């Protein structure tokens, strides 16, 4: 037990979800069964682009206990509501198939193996159309997929005047072209959902990040009121952005099947379906030009960014926005222009993945910064320190950094650690001879929370309550997807209320029970929603104390007050809505102003060793200093940094999604490689705390930033080791061999 | 449902095999089970995992024999194998990870006969012989080079089972080299494997075996490349000539794991490395 005034913040308390997960008691969606539940499957397109003429169900097959659904069964508007109304829940007859593995029909039945067998008896009649399969093909616009230029969205960001003159006056110009490929989230639990209908209301349970996104999409698809749709999150085994928008599609499918079959329906994707059909990180091409003066300062930047959005708009405009806003990095630059565009192609839609557009443009500018230092003959770390943004400096959007800048601190921390003995955990096998070694560095920042005015539009709400049993409850729609959200909410609420963490529980998100605190994305859960939790807990505490005073009770014992209130009056809830901190303004039209309320800062140092015979790369050392404002739960924060670092190293060196004619060719964990512990060096993780005055206890985002920079650090290290420029992600041994032979440098 | 037989003796297993030639003999199932997610199951199985008569390792008469159903884990624990054939132990240590090694068997690797079977290039380079048996026709010894016939195809007859693998002990001075190039360090399917076993007499190549995996439809010995080296003094020009021959002798492909160009280049690099080491040993 604890004394009032005790802070749980900054201490690694037991995770509230830990025991259930390690003991196997946690209930994931595939653990749930309902009476009469049917198993569903999705019939998917077999071409990247075409017109769907007909779907033929083999008359010779026994369909008696199989329910089939096509777009004809959709009575409302046939689209999955998100940003635009372009993506159908099922391709309609006569409609366009826009990508391979696009849903065209659904089936379900009581016998899973019979449903599987039925899949072979469904034929699609399609008139194939020429497919647009790359950024270049999309920009050529010989085949139009969207509007009259295939551009989903474009942004221009400008600062200062006379860009051409600035380049003309520059002493050095550094120019490069960078391509980063798609990346699969590879969460451990594949996507899954169950739906059932009860008295005209729809109930959905599943693996998800954003219950209210699904709530919104289901209301639209079925024409239902708020109360008639109940979305609840089952324990979720990882998301990384992959369960941000796609679950709305899966929810639509189980709901359509359940409605027609008149029974609960479950769909669980197997790994190959999940990898083939769901969203991935956007491929991205960046052309980046920097002008430098003789003093080693950046004087001009000209950046051209093109993302491959895939077949539908989904969340791509927001990804583009973040990519554009991060493309200059944490560096001073008086004159600049950034043009970004999101293209339509006939590949499965790309979507949210940890970093959300920033890792792609970070790779480009951190390669550029490294090359700039080389051109100037400066130490790459020194060059970064000279040009970095500091307190009071102005960002690319004209935002003046008024607080919470750790650009120097993260660099110093990394360099100090580099002086120490390496942990020597993994290194190139001793038998390998003539190993080439190199060291690379990267400095970067990541805007925490929603881009621009997003949080103002969102108005996230959280309630903290005393329930009828006198227990404290945090009610928010923010999901715990393995990242520890429920634990940190417990810590923040218990600290504010002055009670023990054991007295607070976080309600499993369910749209009937929790207000909309916004989606679980954008490194906002601790910084933004955690802040609302703190305010709501404060509000509840004040109300309880007022109640105590009116009854003449001891107002110091909040737990006793809660029990008294529950016993005498009943439940008491206090709900708070997010308000942006004062003085934060962003103009979405001109792209000027405070792009993010604050930034996290990070620096990464990577030592690589390259096998001269096989071109395999071993990351022998990785030092990563990440500023999180305040580590509410240090072990969870460290876990976030380590996990993000490995995903970034994986993206840099091993992970490759292969497409052929718009179809994913390696949809399995065997062939869609992610690194294992054998690839992981002993990660040297340094938590830096530069408090954000408007975050709970100073906390800002941590989820995404570790993903942004390590890939550039790896490329910089490879250039150091091999003397060639590595500008493509992933840097597979095959790519390295090609570059060394003088192929694309 | 598929029929599932679990014979308790080798005799019973061979009888079952003769009676049900369409049944699939299985051991650790580390490969066949993966296949079932996307291809049809056979009508029945003959489970040989744990069959004592075809397990175990023994040394006699200048050979080491390993029972077909001996798990990789048991082979790894055997000091005799490590001392005599370090390349086999090294190859096994990189198969899957510990869980796979506790199920997988040498007999299984030979039965599946995949182009990426990790032990097969080693067995080829070590001149192994495969002891196979049938209930009616008795047993025979098939040289490994004849046992591997083609893409996932071996010389096992419809009524035969693999009983053991025999490898001749190498004379003093024989060097062994092995390298698996995978998609990552563990749980990985090979992009390429190479095993070289050689012995010099002075500067001259007295004995040479070079075998590769994942560079053709089946694991193969590159006999033309061997011929370039056999009897020759091992100097830089010989090594370059061997690399040239190797590049034309293997026929790797582009697939989801790697490219033909990379496989060819790395095969030549590794051959150069091993031959240089052999020359300096």
Model pLDDT for residues A598-616, shown as the tens digit of each residue: 999 999 999 999 999 999 9
- With an 8 Å Cβ cutoff, is B93 touching chain A? no
CB–CB contact A614 B181 (8 Å): yes
Which residues on chain A are in Cβ contact (under 8 Å) with B270?
613-614
Domains in chain B: boundaries: 3-168, 175-280
Which residues on chain A are in Cβ contact (under 8 Å) with B187?
676
Give the residue range(s) of CATH 3.30.365.10 domains in chain A: 18-27+460-577, 130-181+281-389, 403-449+596-745
Q: Report residue B99 CA to chain centroid gap.
A: 20
When scoring A732, A734, A738, A739 by the number of chain B Cβ atoms within 10 A, the one with the most, hence best to mutate, is A734
Taking the CA of residue A711 and the nearest CA in chain B, the distance in Å comes to 17
**A477 close to A461: Cβ distance less than 8 angstroms:** no
Q: Domain B3-168 belongs to what topology? A: 3.30.465
Model pLDDT for residues A626-644, shown as the tens digit of each residue: 999 999 999 999 999 999 9
pLDDT at A623 over 70: yes
Q: A407-419 and A380-387 are packed helices; what angle lies between their axes, rounded to 10 degrees?
A: 160
Pairing relationship of beta strands A50-57 and A122-128 according to DSSP bridges: antiparallel
Q: What CA–CA distance (Å, rounded) separates A49 from A219?
A: 29
Peptide bond into A203 cis (omega under 30): no
- With an 8 Å Cβ cutoff, is B140 touching chain A? no
Model pLDDT for residues B229-248, shown as the tens digit of each residue: 999 999 999 999 999 999 99
pLDDT at B37 over 80: no
The answer as to CATH 3.40.50.2300 being correct for domain A18-27+460-577 is no
SS3 (DSSP) at B168? strand
CB–CB contact A616 B181 (8 Å): yes
A130-181+281-389 CATH, one of 3.50.50.60, 3.40.50.300, 3.30.1130.10, 3.30.365.10: 3.30.365.10
pLDDT at A1 over 60: no
Q: Residue A49 corresponds to which tokens in the numbers above?
A: 């682009």
Enumerate residues 6+ apart whose C-beta is below 8 A from A241.
A185, A209, A279, A351, A352, A353, A354, A356, A521
pLDDT at A2 over 50: no
Q: Which of residues 184-243 of B touch A (CB under 8 A)?
A: 184-189
Model pLDDT for residues A435-459, shown as the tens digit of each residue: 999 999 999 999 998 888 889 899 9
pLDDT at A745 over 60: no
pLDDT at A3 over 60: no
Q: Residue A48 corresponds to which tokens in the numbers above?
A: 């990247």
pLDDT at B26 over 70: yes
Q: What CA–CA distance (Å, rounded) separates A256 from A104?
A: 13
Distances (CA, A) of A562 to A476, A502, A592, B198: 20, 14, 47, 81
Q: Domain A32-129+189-277 belongs to what topology? A: Aldehyde Oxidoreductase; domain 3 (3.90.1170)
**B115 close to B107: Cβ distance less than 8 angstroms:** no
What is the rounded average pLDDT of the residues B198-216? 97
Q: What is the dihedral sign for C-alpha A238, A242, A248, A250?
A: negative
Out of B37, B262, B272, closest to residue A737 by CB: B262
Q: Which CATH class is domain A403-449+596-745?
A: alpha beta
pLDDT at A425 over 80: no
A515 pLDDT tier (thresholds 50, 70, 90): very high
pLDDT at A5: 67
Q: What CA–CA distance (Å, rounded) separates A648 from A638?
A: 15
CB–CB contact A613 B270 (8 Å): yes
Taking the CA of residue A660 and the nearest CA in chain B, the distance in Å comes to 11
A655: nearest CA in chain B?
B183
Q: Residue B123 corresponds to which tokens in the numbers above?
A: 């067995």
pLDDT at A347: 98
Which residues on chain B are in Cβ contact (under 8 Å) with A676?
184-187
Q: What CA–CA distance (Å, rounded) separates B275 from B281?
A: 10
Taking the CA of residue B268 and the nearest CA in chain A, the distance in Å comes to 9
Which of B115, B84, B78 lies closest to B197 in space, CA to CA? B84
Average pLDDT along chain A: 96
Model pLDDT for residues A223-271, shown as the tens digit of each residue: 999 999 999 999 999 999 999 999 999 999 999 999 999 999 999 999 9
Interface of chain A toward chain B, CB-CB under 8 angstroms: 270, 272, 433, 612-616, 654, 658, 665-666, 670-671, 673, 675-679, 733-734, 737-738
**A286: β partners:** A178, A305
Interface confidence, given as ipTM, is 0.96
Out of B181, B184, B270, closest to residue A675 by CB: B184
Q: What proportion of chain A, given as a percentage, has pLDDT over 90?
A: 95
What is the rounded average pLDDT of the residues A142-156? 97
pLDDT at B38 over 90: no
Which residues on chain A are in Cβ contact (under 8 Å) with B38?
272
**B78 close to B57: Cβ distance less than 8 angstroms:** yes
pLDDT at B17: 98
Q: What CA–CA distance (Å, rounded) separates A53 from B124?
A: 54
- Chain A / chain B CB contacts < 8 angstroms: 56
Model pLDDT for residues B5-16, shown as the tens digit of each residue: 999 999 999 999
Q: What CA–CA distance (Å, rounded) separates A534 from A529?
A: 9
User: CA dihedral in degrees (A703, A707, A708, A709; nearest 10)?
Assistant: 130
Average pLDDT along chain B: 96
Rounded to whole angstroms, the maximal C-alpha distance in chain B is: 62
Could you tell me the end-to-end alpha-carbon distance of chain B, in angstroms, rounded to an integer? 57
pLDDT at A148: 97
Model pLDDT for residues A272-292, shown as the tens digit of each residue: 999 999 999 999 999 999 999
B41 pLDDT tier (thresholds 50, 70, 90): confident
Q: Residue A206 corresponds to which tokens in the numbers above?
A: 């599943």
SS3 (DSSP) at A5? coil
Out of B184, B269, B273, closest to residue A673 by CB: B184
pLDDT at A273: 98
**B154 close to B132: Cβ distance less than 8 angstroms:** no
Q: What CA–CA distance (Å, rounded) separates A102 from A673?
A: 24
- With an 8 Å Cβ cutoff, is B273 touching chain A? yes
CB–CB contact B256 A671 (8 Å): yes
- With an 8 Å Cβ cutoff, is B270 touching chain A? yes
In terms of Cβ atoms closer than 10 Å to its own Cβ (0-12, 13-18, 19+), residue B134 is: middle
A4 pLDDT tier (thresholds 50, 70, 90): low
CB–CB contact A613 B261 (8 Å): no
pLDDT at A216: 98
**B253 close to B115: Cβ distance less than 8 angstroms:** no
Q: What CA–CA distance (Å, rounded) separates B220 from B54?
A: 26
When scoring B183, B215, B268, B280 by the number of chain A Cβ atoms within 10 A, the one with the most, hence best to mutate, is B183
The answer as to CATH 3.50.50.60 being correct for domain B175-280 is no
């Amino acid at each position: 037990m604890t004394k009032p005034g005790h802070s749980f913040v900054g201490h690694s308390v037991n995770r509230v979800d830990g025991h259930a997960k390690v003991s196997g008691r946690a209930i994931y969606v595939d653990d749930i069964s309902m009476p009469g539940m049917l198993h569903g499957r999705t019939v998917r397109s077999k071409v990247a682009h075409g017109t769907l003429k007909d779907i033929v169900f083999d008359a010779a097959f026994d369909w008696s206990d199989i329910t089939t659904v096509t777009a004809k069964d959709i009575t409302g508007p046939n689209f999955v509501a998100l940003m635009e109304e372009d993506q159908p829940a099922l391709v309609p007859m006569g409609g366009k198939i826009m990508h391979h593995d696009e849903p065209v029909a659904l089936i379900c039945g009581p016998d899973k193996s019979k449903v599987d067998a039925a899949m072979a008896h469904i034929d699609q009649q399609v008139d194939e159309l020429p497919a647009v399969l790359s950024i270049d093909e999309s920009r050529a616009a010989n085949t139009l997929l969207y509007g009259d230029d295939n551009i989903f969205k474009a942004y221009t960001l400008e600062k200062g005047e006379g860009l051409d003159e600035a380049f003309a006056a520059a002493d050095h110009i550094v120019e490069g072209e960078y391509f980063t490929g798609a990346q699969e989230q590879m969460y451990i639990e594949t996507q899954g959902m169950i739906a059932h209908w009860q008295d005209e209301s729809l109930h959905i349970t599943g693996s998800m990040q954003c219950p209210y996104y699904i709530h919104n999409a289901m209301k639209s698809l079925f024409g239902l009121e708020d109360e008639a749709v109940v979305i609840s999150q089952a324990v979720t085994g990882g998301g990384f952005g992959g369960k941000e928008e796609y679950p709305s599609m899966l929810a639509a499918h189980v709901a359509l099947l359940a409605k027609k079959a008149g029974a609960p329906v479950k769909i669980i994707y197997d790994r190959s379906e999940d990898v083939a059909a769901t969203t991935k990180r956007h491929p991205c091409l960046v052309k980046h030009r920097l002008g430098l003066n003789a003093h080693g300062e950046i004087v001009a930047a000209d950046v051209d960014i093109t993302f491959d959005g895939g077949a539908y708009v989904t969340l791509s405009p927001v990804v583009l926005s973040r990519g554009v806003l991060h493309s200059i990095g944490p560096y001073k630059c008086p004159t600049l222009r950034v043009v970004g565009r999101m293209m339509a192609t006939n590949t499965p839609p790309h979507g949210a993945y940890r970093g959300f557009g920033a890792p792609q443009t970070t790779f480009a500018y951190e390669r550029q910064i490294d090359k700039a230092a080389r051109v100037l003959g400066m130490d790459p770390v020194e060059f970064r320190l000279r040009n970095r943004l500091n307190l009071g400096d102005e960002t690319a959007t004209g935002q003046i950094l008024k607080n919470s800048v750790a650009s120097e601190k993260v660099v110093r921390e990394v360099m100090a650690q580099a002086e120490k003995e390496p942990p020597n955990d993994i290194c190139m096998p001793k038998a390998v001879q003539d190993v080439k070694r190199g060291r690379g560095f990267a400095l970067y920042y990541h805007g925490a929370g929603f881009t621009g005015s997003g949080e103002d539009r969102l108005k996230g709400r959280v309630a903290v309550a005393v329930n009828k049993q006198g227990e404290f409850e945090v009610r928010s729609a923010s999901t715990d997807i393995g990242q520890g959200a429920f634990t940190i909410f417990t810590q923040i609420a218990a600290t504010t209320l002055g009670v023990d963490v054991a007295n607070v529980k976080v309600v499993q998100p369910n749209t009937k029970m929790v207000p909309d605190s916004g989606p679980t994305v954008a490194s906002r859960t601790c910084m933004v929603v955690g802040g609302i939790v703190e305010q709501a807990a404060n509000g509840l505490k004040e109300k309880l104390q007022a109640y105590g005073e009116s009854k003449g009770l001891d107002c110091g014992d909040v737990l006793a007050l809660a029990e008294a209130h529950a016993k005498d009056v009943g439940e008491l809830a206090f709900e708070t809505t997010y308000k942006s901190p004062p003085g934060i303004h962003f103009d979405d039209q001109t792209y000027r102003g405070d792009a993010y309320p604050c930034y996290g800062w990070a620096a990464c140092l990577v030592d690589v060793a390259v096998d001269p015979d096989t071109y395999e790369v071993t990351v022998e050392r990785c030092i990563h200093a990440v500023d999180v404002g305040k580590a509410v739960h240090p072990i969870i924060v460290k876990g976030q940094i380590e996990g993000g670092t490995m995903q970034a190293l994986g993206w840099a060196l091993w992970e490759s999604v292969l497409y052929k004619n718009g179809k994913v060719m390696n949809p399995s964990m065997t062939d869609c490689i992610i690194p294992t512990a054998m690839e992981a060096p002993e990660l040297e993780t340094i938590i830096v705390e530069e408090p954000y005055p408007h975050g709970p206890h100073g906390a800002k985002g941590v989820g995404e930033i570790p993903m942004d920079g390590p890939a550039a650090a790896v490329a910089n290290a490879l250039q150091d080791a091999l003397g060639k420029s590595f500008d493509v992600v992933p840097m597979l041994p095959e790519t390295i061999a090609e570059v060394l032979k003088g192929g694309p440098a | 449902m598929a029929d599932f037989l679990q014979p308790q003796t080798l005799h019973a297993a061979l009888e079952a095999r003769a009676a049900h030639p369409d049944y699939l003999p299985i051991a650790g199932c580390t490969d066949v089970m993966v296949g079932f997610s996307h291809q049809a199951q056979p009508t029945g199985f003959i489970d040989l995992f744990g069959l004592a008569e075809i397990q175990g390792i023994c040394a006699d008469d200048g050979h080491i024999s390993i029972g077909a159903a001996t798990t990789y884990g048991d082979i790894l624990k055997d000091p005799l194998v490590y001392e005599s054939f370090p390349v086999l132990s090294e190859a096994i240590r990189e198969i899957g990870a510990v869980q796979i090694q506790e199920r997988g068997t040498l007999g299984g690797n030979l039965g599946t006969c995949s182009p990426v079977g990790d032990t097969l290039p080693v067995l080829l380079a070590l001149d192994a012989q495969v002891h196979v048996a049938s209930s009616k026709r008795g047993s025979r010894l098939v040289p490994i080079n004849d046992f591997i016939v083609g893409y996932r195809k071996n010389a096992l007859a419809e009524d035969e089972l693999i009983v053991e693998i025999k490898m001749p002990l190498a004379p003093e001075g024989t060097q062994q080299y092995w390298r698996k190039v995978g998609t990552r360090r563990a749980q990985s399917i090979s992009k390429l494997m190479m095993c070289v076993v050689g012995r010099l007499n002075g500067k001259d190549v007295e004995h040479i075996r070079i075998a590769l995996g994942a560079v053709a439809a089946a694991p193969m010995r590159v006999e033309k490349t061997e011929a370039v080296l056999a009897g020759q003094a091992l100097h830089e020009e010989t090594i370059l000539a061997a690399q040239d021959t190797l590049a034309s002798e293997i026929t790797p492909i582009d697939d989801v794991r790697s490219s033909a160009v990379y496989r060819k280049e790395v095969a030549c690099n590794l051959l150069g490395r091993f031959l240089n080491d052999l020359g300096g040993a």
